[in-house]
Structure 1
Amino acid sequence: MLLALSTGGVARLAINQQHGEELRQRTLASLPRSVITVHPKPAESGRRIGLPATLRGNTETQIFARCDGYLSAWYKNIGDQVSKGELLAVIDVPELDQELAQAKATVAQVRTRLDLARSTWKRWKILSQNDSATPQEYDEKRSAALQAEADLAAAEANVKRLQNLEGYRHIIAPFAGVITRRSIDVGNLITAGNQELFALTQTDPLRLTVQVPQIYSADIQLGGEVTINFPEIQGKPRKAHIEHIAGALDPMTRTRQVDVILENKDGRLLPGAYADVSLTMRGNSSALIVPANVLVIEAEGTRVVTVDGENRIRFRRVGIGRDFGREVEVLEGISLDDTLVASPSDLLVDGESVSTAPVAERNDTLKTAGGR
């Protein structure tokens, strides 16, 4: 009898617990879902971004030879400062000297022939006026004189060409700068146009080249201020302004080139150095900034989940601008007064009633409620 009562009590207790759990589940299901909310904030009037850059000479060039020969001497080495027009090296071209001498001799021969042709033409002109020579003979003498004049002009042009080539034996600096490479030595065979002799770089001023990503390319402007930091130089960052902006994007990298001119009177900065450049982007006054976790990305587009004045869920389409990583620029679809759901659950449906709490007030209880 006692065993039967005990067994019945245990069964009754189990039934009561089951009913209690069912009641708790129904109660929880009847409660509104809890969501974490955030508010949009206005976009900044100007946003700064940091980008890597490469320091280059304002003018850089490789120097090649214009004639073939052997290097007889060089006068400047790497690190040497040179002035415009200063002699860098000399090429020995003995064949060119012989050709020039031959061309000058040809000029002398043609000039002698021209003098004879002119005097002959002059005499036949007098004879033709006295009817002592036929017109045919006169025209032949005149033609010979004109032909000699043309031959003399061609011979003199050839001499000038060889003299120009003779001048190319002397390698001179096209502008003032510093020698950054010397690729030759005495006795080297030099081939015109195929072998670099020197590399020359203008070091004051220097040019800083920045590749701006496409998403920011429309926000940069001429004259905009930039802040430059060099890892090897401690102290106050340098300030400069944008001097040139490319008129198109590089199709390979989808970036827009920006050039900044930087003074280097003390010579502390070296071409080829790495730099960190901070640029100020023009802001969009009508745009809003929201956390990236409020976005719902779908095949049809991008939406956000909002909570209206009656604490009901509403879905809205939005237009996205620039992506700043943890934050995203929204161009249309929401206003500054809207309340957005952070990390919205897939279980939320349009028109559903919810309870809300701002991100700053989130606690363990809210985490438990939001995890249903």
Structure 2
Amino acid sequence: MTLRFRTLFWSVTALLVIAIIGWSFWPRPVLVDTAPITRGPLSVQIRDEGRTRIRDVYAIAAPVSGRLLRIDWEPGDEITTGDVLARVLPAEPSILDARSQGEAEAAIALAEAALSAARAEAQTARSALDLAREEHTRIARLRETGIASQAQLDRAAAELRAAQAASGRAQAAIRMREAEIEAARVHLHGSGSGDQTPAIFDIRSPIEGRVLQVVRESEGPVAAGAPLLEIGEPSGLEIVAEFLSADAVQTGPGDAAEITGWRRDAPPLPARVRRVEPYGFEQVSALGVEEQRVNVVLDFTGEPADWSALGHGYRVETAITVWNSEDALRVPVAALFRQDGDWAVYRIDQDRARLTPVRIGRDNGVDAEVLGGLSADDVVVLYPGEGVVDGATVKDRDLAE
């Protein structure tokens, strides 16, 4: 009896040890993250930073050289057509050095001497005119009595006309010399007394809008063409985004877009591509990489009140939709991996991972379009690790917990 008990005890103990060893070496299912294959909307967007700008910015510059009076306008002030934006006084005459002053004084003396000579010549011409007039009168009387001939009368008339012309030239020479004296005096002393008020040139607004920037505010000398203000109409706001040329070729006028990042917790603003500029330019990134960029211009399509807080030069983030499908078969990008140069996933079939080749279309970095190899409601493994192989037993991590 004792022998039978011992035999049974050690037999059961041996079986338990064998069972425990077998259970410890029995393959356990690999815990994985899973996701179903679904149908639904899928869109592909290109994203980059942009900035807002007013479509028509007017740079107001000084049309003439002179002295700018202080500008009282502030950025953001509303203006109407015809408002005086800035005022410019005529430029003051330059200060003469000793040499220039001596030359100016000598020019005045020379002009005064020339005036004296012109007046003497005018007196001579006046005397000749009086003589010619008296001679013509005397010859005319003699002609009436028949003493003088017609030829003598014609000669006297010609001499009278010549004397009148000479007198006129002499008077013109006097006026010319007086003008020369006045010009020399202006060059030396200025153009008038201090009682005269100099003319002021008013620079007026060509549009109705707002002041964007005051470039020059303080009073002082200003050269012709110097920038003074920038004005514009805020309702004509647009977005300019600098996209990589490889992304810009995917979009075109009319593509829908969303504007984000312009305010915290703000909903996206709808926009639409108006133009892709044909001229690219090189830009160096923050990492020192040379990139070819292209300006893409977008217009807001929502209500102006939604983006009224934006101004000229504000930073925004743009997302342009380059492809969209309302009923696409979607697979998470995290489930895809390369297998012999093609895309593949691990599809779960009866708790086992099955290596499944798939054909992929468009992807947006989160989901990809399935063109073949999977169907709706299939379940795939996300982020497959080394423990996941074809035929391996797997278990959803969420269900295991």
Match of 2:57 among 56, 60, 63: 60
Largest Rg, 1 or 2: 2
- Asked if 1:69 is matched to 2:66, the reply is yes
Pairing 1:49-198 to 2, within 5 Å after superposition: 54-65=51-62, 67-72=64-69, 74=71, 76-78=73-75, 79-83=77-81, 88-94=86-92, 171-173=203-205, 175-185=207-217, 187-193=219-225, 195-198=226-229
CA distance 1:22–1:81, change in 2 (3 Å): same
Q: Where does 1:248-327 land on structure 2 (aligned, <5 Å)?
A: 252=283, 257-261=296-300, 268-272=308-312, 280-283=321-324, 288-296=329-337, 303-307=343-347, 313-314=354-355, 316=357, 321-324=362-365, 327=366
- Contact kept, 8 Å, 1:58 with 1:261, in 2: the verdict is no
1:340 matched residue in structure 2: 380
Deviation at 1:217, TM superposition (A): 4.8
Q: How far apart, CA to CA, are the structure 2 residues paired with 1:322 and 1:189?
A: 61
Separation of aligned partners in 2, 1:288 and 1:323:
13
Judged with a 3 Å threshold, the aligned counterparts in structure 2 of structure 1 residues 45 and 232 are, in CA distance, closer, same or farther, namely closer
Percent sequence identity over aligned pairs: 14
2:37 is the alignment partner of 1:40: yes
Unaligned stretches of 5+ in structure 2? 1-5, 95-199, 286-292
Distance 1:187 1:87 in 2: 13
Distance change (3 Å), C-alpha of 1:69 and 1:282: same
Q: Which residue type is aligned with residue 330 of structure 2?
A: I
The amino acid that maps onto 2:399 is: N
C-alpha separation in 1, matches of 2:246 and 2:370: 14
Whether 2:363 is the aligned partner of 1:363: answer no
Look up the SS of the partner of 1:329 in the other structure: strand
How many residues align? The count is 281
Q: Deviations over 1:315-367 (max 9, x none)?
A: 5375574334xx23246664436653333231344xx434567x6x9511xx7
What CA distance in whole angstroms lies between the structure 2 residues aligned with 1:187 and 1:332? Answer: 71
How much does 1:177 deviate? 2.6
State the Cα distance separating 1:32 from its structure 2 match.
7.5
CA shift digits 1:42-72 (9 cap, x unpaired): 4626568998764432212433335543214
CA distance in 2, matches of 1:250, 1:14: 82
User: What is the DSSP-based 3-state SS (H/G/I as helix, E as strand, rest coil) of the residue aligned with 1:223?
Assistant: coil
SS in 2 for 1:21: helix
CA change 1:170–1:93 in 2 (3 A) is farther
1:328 alignment counterpart: 367
In 2: Cα distance, 1:15 partner to 1:232 partner: 69
RMSD: 5.4
Q: Matched residues in 1 for 2:306 and 2:370: separation?
A: 47
* Paired residues of 1:287 and 1:332 also in contact (CA < 8 A): no
1:90 & 1:233 partners in 2: Cα distance? Answer: 47
Q: Provide the rounded CA distance (Å) in 2 between the counterparts of 1:333 and 1:84.
A: 67
CA contact (8 A) 2:257 2:319 kept: yes
Query: Residue in 2 aligned with 1:208?
Result: 239
1:89 counterpart letter in structure 2? R
SS in 1 for 2:41: coil
In the aligned structure 2, how far is the partner of 1:35 from the partner of 1:73?
73
What secondary structure sits across from 1:363 in the alignment? helix
Taking a change above 3 Å as real, the CA distance of residues 85 and 33 of structure 1, as seen in their structure-2 partners, is closer
- Alignment partners' CA distance in 2, 1:342 and 1:83: 64
**Letter in structure 2 aligned against 1:283:** N
| Cα displacement (A) at 1:309 | 7.5
Q: Per the alignment, do residues 186 and 286 of structure 1 end up closer, same or farther by CA in structure 2, a change over 3 Å counting?
A: closer
Q: Partner amino acid for 2:214?
A: R
Shift of 1:22: 2.4
Cα distance, 1:207 vs. partner?
2.0
Structure 1 192/336 Cα, relative in aligned 2: closer, same or farther at 3 Å? Answer: farther
Q: Distance in 2 between matches of 1:232 and 1:305?
A: 38
Does structure 1 conserve the Cα–Cα contact (< 8 Å) formed by 2:84 and 2:202? no
Q: In structure 2, what is the equivalent of residue 21 of structure 1?
A: 20
Secondary structure at 2:22's aligned position in 1? helix
Q: Structure 1 unaligned runs (5+)?
A: 1-5, 97-167, 368-372
- SS of the residue aligned with 1:204? helix
- Name the amino acid aligned to 2:86: L
Cα distance 1:211–1:334, how it changes in 2: closer, same or farther (>3 A)? Answer: farther
Task: Note the alpha carbon deviations across 1:146-170, whole angstroms, 9 max, x for none.
Answer: xxxxxxxxxxxxxxxxxxxxxx965
Partner amino acid for 2:20?
E
- Whether 1:353 and 2:350 are equivalent positions in the alignment is no
Task: Give the Cα separation in 2 of the matches to 1:208 and 1:44.
Answer: 27
User: Partner letter of residue 230 of structure 2?
Assistant: A
Whole-angstrom CA distance in 2 between matches of 1:91 and 1:319? 72
